[in-house]
A = this chain, B = another copy of it.
Amino acid sequence: MTPQRHLDEELGLLKEKLFTMASLAETMIHKAIRSLVERDETLFQVVEEQEKKVNHLEIEIDELCLKLLALKQPMATDLRFITSAMKINSELERIGDLAVNITQRVAVLIKQPQLKPLIDIPRMAELTQKMVKDSLDAFIQKDADLARSVLTRDDEVDGLKGQIFRELLTFMLSDQSTIPRSLELILVSRHLERIGDHATNIAEDVVYLVLGKDIRHHIETERNK
């Protein structure tokens, strides 16, 4: 087997592991919000188990990347792919953490009567879950357009976060008995916002990887001024 073919095989394994990790992270978001909507505390345990898997995968992926960098001394495109994989790995792990954080808020919330039917929070969760999926797909398929579409959707997530905040503020102002529950729901929406931010970070890395353009801080635009 040629060294390049051997490297390609190892890169295939790396992609597989990242894909598994992303799927776990998506499921965790979904389950965390389901535990809120259905007031089902049995789902906490499921999310926790999945977090352990994600944590192990993070270490495995990190070690695989270091091994590839050390032993295969990859050049140019492969090098950048591996260093991006290391960053994406951290992002996915934090998404998993945030799903766990959501279940911690839900644990407090479902001990109290339901404040209101939930519409925007599940919508926000769906959006961010899809952003995670698409950002990872964009990475694996080196699809800059798909990555850019993730960036656009982050504005929608931020819009929903603002809407949720204003609605809950109205609740709190009109009935102070709703304050503790409203606060917990605001925190849930902030956790979802951060999940969207992590997916955005992944998507920005992908655009950089594919187009060689760093769009993280719109330096491009600044330079063209």
Contacts and interface: CB of A to CB of B under 8 A. Distances in A.
Interface of A: 52, 55-56, 58-59, 62, 65-66, 69-70, 73, 75-76, 79-80, 83, 86-87, 90, 169, 172-173, 176, 179-180, 183, 186, 190, 201, 214, 216-217, 219
A65 B186 CA distance: 39
29 contacts: A55-B217, A56-B217, A56-B219, A58-B217, A59-B214, A59-B216, A59-B217, A59-B219, A66-B79, A66-B83, A69-B69, A69-B79, A70-B75, A70-B76, A70-B79, A73-B73, A83-B83, A86-B87, A87-B87, A169-B179, A169-B180, A172-B172, A172-B176, A173-B179, A176-B176, A179-B179, A183-B183, A183-B186, A190-B190
Contacts of A214: 59, 62
Contacts of A173: 176, 179
Contacts of A183: 169, 183, 186
Contact of A219 (B55, B76, B216): B55
A52 to B, nearest CB: 8
Given A172-B179, A176-B176, A179-B179, A83 B59 contact: no
